[in-house]
Amino acid sequence: MHTGVAPYRPNSLDGGCPFHAADGYVEVPFPVEAGPRGRLAPASYDDHFSQPRMFWRSMSPVEKEHIVAAYTFELSRVYEQAIKERQRRVLAQIDPVLCEEVAAGLGLPAPAASLIEGRPASPALSQVGEVWPTTGRIIGIVAGSDLDALRAVRRTILDDGMVPLVIAPTGGVLAGEGEPVTVQRTFAAARSVEFDAVLVAGAPAPGADAHGARDAKAGMSGPVDPRVVLLLNEAYRHGKPIGGWGRAGDAFAAASIPPGSPGVVVGVEPVAVLGEVTALLARHRVWDRFPATLA
């Protein structure tokens, strides 16, 4: 297996590798047993629905609602009516409830279901109730007034095998005494899709206006930048763990995140907040944030 960084040629990164061997590939002839020749496929090739049906039946109620919401969102952005109709017929062959819920979200009728029995549900396919390693997870840290805490949390994240990305109004290095803190994302570039969890390190720093100038009157406790509000609101709606300390509650309030919501950790000791957020990360999503109604 090629282990370099450039699996193509010519290249200047891996010394020209991969390259052809000097003698090339040699085809060795051998006798083939006589028999009929044809392009055939097994009967299971025509089975397109037993496995999707098994997957749907294996989901917990909250995961089923997540799937319904995803289908509804994607199909709501399709403007060809024929495509919506075909997709609803496909869903009807997976499960009638899935088809009916998606059709209701689109404001369209659901076609009659035509199901095959499929396979029994498998608990191994559901994420709810399981935990996974947090190694490699990415945590966004919105820089605020507490740089010492930000440094401590960042070091702990690295020690735990995760990836911290500091988010600030502008790029460069955060000013202040002590070890420099490099900014990896700006308010303009950061979106929640990049992060598995988000931390707010005290009161978020003020943003910049259209000309790049800071609002000197706002200070560190001024109005929360709308881009930070968007980041937090999306992370909350996507079921991601959120944490903060100090004046972080002001940012959560601006993002319409109810205090005491599942998966929202607000504390005094930053590293302890990180510990709770990491424990939530092991469950992949904060499923309790959105009570399910589907059986």
Phi, psi of 265 (to 5 degrees): -110, 120
The residue among 73, 97, 125 that closes a domain is: 125
Closest to 263 measured CA to CA, from 281, 247, 245: 281
Higher per-residue confidence, 222 vs 173: 173
Specify if 53 maps to a domain.
yes
b/e burial code for range 13-37 (CB count within 10 A of at least 16 → b): ebeeeeeeeeeeeeeeeeeeeeeee
> Is 155 found in the same domain as 231?
yes
Domain total in the chain: 2
For residue 153, which of 291, 16, 269 has the smallest C-alpha distance? 269
Strand 197-201 and strand 185-186: the pairing is unpaired
- In this structure, is residue 185 part of a structural domain? yes
Residues 162 and 101 in one domain: no
Torsion of CA 189, 193, 196, 201, to 10 degrees: 30
- Domain holding 204: CATH number? 3.40.50.880
The predicted pLDDT at position 18 comes to: 67
Whole-number pLDDT of residue 200: 95
Is there a domain that residue 12 lies in? no
Residue 41 lies inside a defined structural domain of this protein: no
**How many C-beta neighbours within 10 Å does residue 106 have?**
17
Q: Is residue 26 part of a domain?
A: no
Residues 167 and 52 in one domain: no
In this structure, are 178 and 234 located in the same domain? yes
Structure tokens belonging to residue 110: 């659901």
Quick: pLDDT tens for 21-61. Answer: 666 677 788 887 887 777 888 888 888 888 899 999 999 99
Last residue of a domain, one of 61, 94, 125: 125
Residues 203 and 228 in one domain: yes
* Residue 213 banded pLDDT, cuts 50, 70, 90: very low
**Given this model, what pLDDT does residue 215 score?**
42
* Residues 88 and 225 occupy one common structural domain: no
CATH number at residue 103: 1.20.1370.20
Q: Rounded mean pLDDT of 95-114?
A: 91
Statement to judge: residues 111 and 142 lie in one domain:
no
Asked if residue 27 belongs to a domain, the reply is: no
Residue among 217, 196, 218, 180 at smallest CA distance from 279: 196
Which of the listed residues 65, 98, 125 is the one where a domain comes to its end?
125
Question: Do 98 and 195 sit in the same domain of this protein?
Answer: no
Rounded to the nearest integer, the mean pLDDT of the chain is 86
Task: Verify that 155 and 117 share a domain, yes or no.
Answer: no
163 and 57 belong to one structural domain: no
Specify whether 202 is located in the same domain as 259. yes
Q: What is the pLDDT of residues 138-192, one digit of tens each?
A: 999 999 877 889 999 999 999 999 999 999 999 999 877 778 899 999 999 999 9
Q: How far is CA 171 from CA 134, 193, 203, in A?
A: 27, 20, 18
In a domain, 261, yes or no: yes
Residue-number span of the structural domain to which 271 is assigned: 138-209+219-289
For residues 52 and 162, membership in a common domain is answered with: no
pTM as predicted: 0.75
